[in-house]
Each structure stands twice: as structure tokens, then as C-alpha cells.
A and B are shown apart, each in its own frame.
Chain A
Amino acid sequence: MTLFVAILLLLAGLSEAIGRLLPLVARLSGVSHTRAIWLVVAGAFVDAAVFALWPLSAWTLAELVLPTSTTGQGVLAWTPGLVAPLLLAAILAFPLLGPFLHLLLMVGVGAGLATALVPVAGIGWWEAAGCVAVAGAGLGIAVEGVRRLVARLNRTRAPESFP
């Protein structure tokens, strides 16, 4: 992964985190500016890591469950062109239509990843698309679980007492 791609992934993670900020902060009524900013920064790193793992997970999944041919083209990795649309992930915050537009964005990026996976794994496009979709859904569910857990822990935390 080049430095440029890493920066793009971090910005994409930041975009995704901003898109998810309000529903999270809404559960943390009374949160300070500083804490909100830290939540976004932490979320940016988590989401960037999830995005970074997406092609690797899809490729690993293809290797594990499908009969693949050896192509010798190395591992599936992000390229600037593939990752750039994720900079629009903040569209998730768009009121009412946000989740639908976000889904369209992810389908578009996933289709790009599937196309890139075909020559790497030596499988058909639809099989590649299935691997990308399952990997993306799995990562998405995992990070959503973590997100809800963090929100729950913050919401129910009792005030600290000092003896």
C-alpha cells in the first residue's frame, strides 16, 4: 500500500466517521466538543482500518471457499482510483436519503473491487462480487457491533465516585 493510498483511506475513514457522528452523539447527550472530535478521530481510524481490510478479506475469502487458479498477480489491494469514491462516504449523513445513497456508493466501490479481484484470484466476476459483498457485509456488521457497544457503554456508564 502506498502512502498516497493510506492517506486516501484515512480521509475516507474520516468521511465515514463524520457521516455517522450525529446518531452516535445523539446517544451521548451532553458530550463536549473535545470528546466529539475525539470520537470522530477514533472513528476515522477504525473505519479506515475496516476499508483497508476489505480487499484483503474478499481475496482471502475467495482463496478459502472457491477453487481459484494461480495467477501470480499478488494480493488484491486498493488503488487510488478504487478508493477515491469512498471520500464521499459522509453522504451517509444526508437526511432521509443518506443510507440509500451510502449503499449505492458501497455497491459501486464493491463492483470496482470485484472487477479487480477477478484477475488476482482467477475466478468469475459474479463469484468475485459475492466474495466482496460477503467480506464487506461481515466487516460492516463487525464494526457496527463495536460502534453500538461503545455507544451502550457510554450511555449506561454510572458517574464515577471517589472515596
Chain B
Amino acid sequence: MIEFALLLLLFGIGPVLLAEALLSRYELLAYTAGWRTPDTALPPRVPYARGADADRPPAAYLVYLDGIGKRRFQDTRDGGQLVKSLLGRAPELRVLGQVQPYSPLAHPLANRPVWIWLRRRMGLVLFLHNVMQIFVAADRRYRPLYNRAVGSQIATQLRLAGYQRDSGIPVVLLSYSGGAQVATGAVEELWSELRCPLWLITLGGFYNGANDISHAQHLDRLTAAGDWIERTGMWIFPQRWPLFRWSGWNRAVRAGKITVHWLDPATHVGPRSYISPQAKLPDGRSHLDRTADTVIALIRDRVGATAEPESPPA
């Protein structure tokens, strides 16, 4: 039985994994070489931002970077619940959920004919593609290019949503799981293009800790003891180990820019996940309610002081 499983892994999943890994860089190559330009327009009925009206400055712009399930401009089912919950609780925010963290060309997988075919037959491959994109984003050779591509995508979507450079309005990058790799990577490009006060909030963040986040004001790390996926990221990426003192992550830790918030007993995914509306806490709130409350409290605490438009950027 074990032999059969190994053979299946070797000859079944192995070649798919290898092909996907080799193809995963093509999009970045096409972006870098200038063979294709990133998509900027959204489909009809997908707004550039939701929440606070565009006719007056919001308290902050919140960009939600989803986990590996992201494959279209619209929110995923789980991410959509979180965004909806945030919008309901904090109407002063302008929220963007359309950013494609796993596509340097901002081209959703759901819009690609081959992937539509694959989705009907091997849905798992879609997740695999996005996992590989996280690997590309974390790879020393491709990371600067990937960071520039997605950072530029976020900056473009913020501009289309009404953000003005040097306006001083804070931008919050809320990232779930692998979205944290992209969020930390986007900091430099966002600073370069928008000069915005920038906050990061990671929810079960999976990232390699190599990116320089010195231009971010703070990073709030929402985690839980039962989140083994986040913990795996801390184990497998040496830049997250205290030994590598000069990694972007450890420099941020020494600068006092990281605050950990425990959301026990939540898990990374599943019925007891951070964004589960079913799992209940002793105080009667769901995990989703608690996560949304925590995110909003952090934004109001940290961003409120700089949300006035006349405040100069940090």
C-alpha cells in the first residue's frame, strides 16, 4: 500500500508538481520582460473599493490580500465573510479586495481558459498554482521582481480607488496566510509609489521574513497556538530564525515593529478557523466576529492618529 502511494506520488503528482513549478515563473518572466502588461481594469460590477464614500477622505484604505484560494477579482468565500464583516463594523474604511496576490500580471486564474478546464477536473491544481507563486515570491532570485509587480498592482488599484500620493491617508495591508508574503514584499514599492503611511496586519501569515519592511509603521501578527501552517513558515524559512539577525524580519523585531496577538483557540483553516462564523468563543462571539473586532481595533488604535488628511506622512 505504501509502495502504491509512493508510486502515485512519484509518477502522478510529481510530474504535475514539476510542470507547475516550471510554468509558475512564466508569468513573472512575461511581466519583467515587458511581453505583457498587467491588467488594471476590473470587470463590470466589481468596484475599485467598497465602504466609505469616495467623495471624502476615508479614515484609511484597507487592502485585503487573500490566501491561496484567491482566483478571481471577487472575494473568496472565506475572505468575503471577513471583508463583509469589516465593512459592516468600520464604515469609515475604504476596502479593496480585488488585488491578485498570486499573479504578477493581475490576471485571475478564473479568467484563463486552461485553468477553467482544470478547475472542473482537478481543482486542487488551482491551489497548487498559488502555492508555487508564494514560492516564487519567496525565492531570492525572483523576489525583487515579484515584489515590484504586486506592489505596483496594489498601488495602481489604490489610485483607481481614489488614493492620492502624499495624501497622508494610511494604507493597511491585511493579509491572510500566503498573502502575507506578498504584503511584506509590497512595502517598498508602495512606499516608493505612494509615500503612504503603511500598516501591516497578518492573519496566520505564511512568509519568509526576507522582505525589508522598514517603511511600514508596524506589523501586527494575528496568530494562534493551533495554527501549524503559520508555524511551518517560521520553521522552514531561515530568515525567520533569530540566528539571521540581519534579515528583514529580525530587523523589524529589533526595531519593535512587530506585535503578536493571540487568537486562540482558532486554527488556520477548517471549521474552527480564524474566520469561521460557526465556531464560538466563551463570550458568545464567533471566531469571525473576534477576528474582525481585533482587526478594526488595531486599525483604529494605530491608524486613527494619522488618519487626518492634513497630517504629514511619516
Chain A residues, CB < 8 A from B132: 95
Q: Let me know if B136 is at the binding interface, CB within 8 A.
A: yes
Render A4-29 as a binary contact track against B, CB cut-off 8 A, 1 for contact.
00000000000000100111011011
Chain B residues, CB < 8 A from A94: 18, 21-22
Do residues B21 and A95 form an inter-chain contact, with CB atoms below 8 A? yes
Interface positions of A from 107 to 153, Cβ below 8 Å from B? none
Given contacts A95-B136, A97-B135, contact A26 B142 (CB under 8 A): yes
Q: Let me know if A33 is at the binding interface, CB within 8 A.
A: yes
Given contacts A29-B33, A30-B34, A95-B132, contact A22 B21 (CB under 8 A): no
Render B162-196 as a binary contact track against A, CB cut-off 8 A, 1 for contact.
00000000000000000000000000000000000
Q: Let me know if A96 is at the binding interface, CB within 8 A.
A: yes
Q: Is the interface of B mostly helix, strand, loop or mixed?
A: helix
Q: Let me know if A48 is at the binding interface, CB within 8 A.
A: no
Chain A residues, CB < 8 A from B24: 95
Do residues A93 and B33 form an inter-chain contact, with CB atoms below 8 A? no
Interface positions of B from 30 to 44, Cβ below 8 Å from A? 32-35
CB distance from B98 to the nearest CB of A (A): 25
CB distance from B104 to the nearest CB of A (A): 12
Chain B residues, CB < 8 A from A29: 32-34
Do residues A26 and B35 form an inter-chain contact, with CB atoms below 8 A? no
Given contacts A26-B32, A33-B35, A91-B18, contact A96 B25 (CB under 8 A): no
CB distance from B164 to the nearest CB of A (A): 28
Chain B residues, CB < 8 A from A95: 21, 24-25, 132, 135-136, 138-139, 142
Which size class do B's interface residues fall under?
Answer: 10 to 19
Inter-chain residue pair count (beta carbon < 8 A) = 52
Chain B residues, CB < 8 A from A96: 135-136, 138-139
Residue of B28, B29, B33, B132 contacting most chain A CB atoms (<10 Å): B33
Do residues B22 and A25 form an inter-chain contact, with CB atoms below 8 A? no
Given contacts A95-B136, A95-B142, A96-B139, contact A22 B25 (CB under 8 A): yes
Complex Cα–Cα for A26 and B21 (A): 18
Q: Let me know if A98 is at the binding interface, CB within 8 A.
A: yes
Q: Let me know if B141 is at the binding interface, CB within 8 A.
A: yes
Complex Cα–Cα for A145 and B296 (A): 53
Render B1-27 as a binary contact track against A, CB cut-off 8 A, 1 for contact.
000000000000000001001101100
CB distance from A92 to the nearest CB of B (A): 10
Q: Let me know if A61 is at the binding interface, CB within 8 A.
A: no
Complex Cα–Cα for A22 and B142 (A): 8
Q: Let me know if A58 is at the binding interface, CB within 8 A.
A: no
**Interface pairs A-B: 5 shortest CB-CB:** A95-B135, A96-B135, A95-B136, A94-B21, A95-B139
Interface, chain B (partner A; CB < 8 A)? 18, 21-22, 24-25, 28-29, 32-35, 132, 135-136, 138-139, 141-142, 145
A-B contact pairs, 22 of them (CB 8 A): A18-B22, A22-B28, A22-B32, A22-B142, A23-B141, A23-B142, A26-B145, A29-B32, A29-B34, A30-B34, A36-B33, A91-B18, A93-B25, A94-B18, A94-B21, A95-B24, A95-B135, A95-B136, A95-B142, A96-B135, A96-B138, A98-B21
Interface, chain A (partner B; CB < 8 A)? 18, 21-23, 25-26, 28-31, 33, 36, 90-91, 93-98
